[in-house]
Amino acid sequence: MTTPLPPNALPPVLSLFAAVSAAHHAAQRLVEARLPKGLTAPQFAVLERMIRLGEGQTPISIANAFGWPKTSMSHTLAVMEARGLVRLEPNPRDGRSKCLWFTPKGRTLAMLGVTSVEEDLSRIASLAPIEAVTNLAEDLTSLAARLDDQRRFPDVA
């Protein structure tokens, strides 16, 4: 067995990425444990995004927001459509792409999913002052946007 490195031995950005990754996985496990039977975390992520940002989004815009490959998004939506949770319709703006809409069953399941994690979210929110949580969320959102810019435009400083 190797000896672990002291915490300050890693570059700060790598330590940040490790912490964000650990938090993401812990949050995903928490959410998955509370979701209605048969609803996966990726499916819930799509439904929750539709609740938060509205229907009519394109699959590629959702895939880009999540950092998912187009094929993963297509598979997730195909399963959701087969289960009667969403429907894909031609984009009224260009007719080539598709837009995503809730079915009544999908909207109900999305709201059940949100309700199922609310108690845990309240308990987690009590662990730190709301201002600290809000600031951290804003900082991580900003970091995510900058990292996405670096991925899409590697020559941008």
Predicted pLDDT at 152: 67
Phi, psi of 57 (to 5 degrees): -75, 150
The C-alpha atoms of residue 89 and residue 58 are separated, in whole angstroms, by 10
The burial of 107, by beta-carbon neighbours within 10 Å (0-12 exposed, 13-18 middle, 19 or more buried), is given as middle
- 118 burial class (0-12, 13-18, 19+ CB within 10 angstroms)? exposed
Check residue 119 and give its pLDDT: 81
Q: What is the pLDDT along the chain (157 residues), one digit of tens a residue?
A: 677 777 677 788 888 888 999 998 998 898 889 888 888 989 999 999 999 999 999 999 999 988 899 999 999 999 999 999 999 999 988 878 999 999 999 999 999 989 988 888 888 888 889 899 899 999 998 998 888 777 767 775 5
Q: Tokens 């819930």 sit at which residue? A: 44
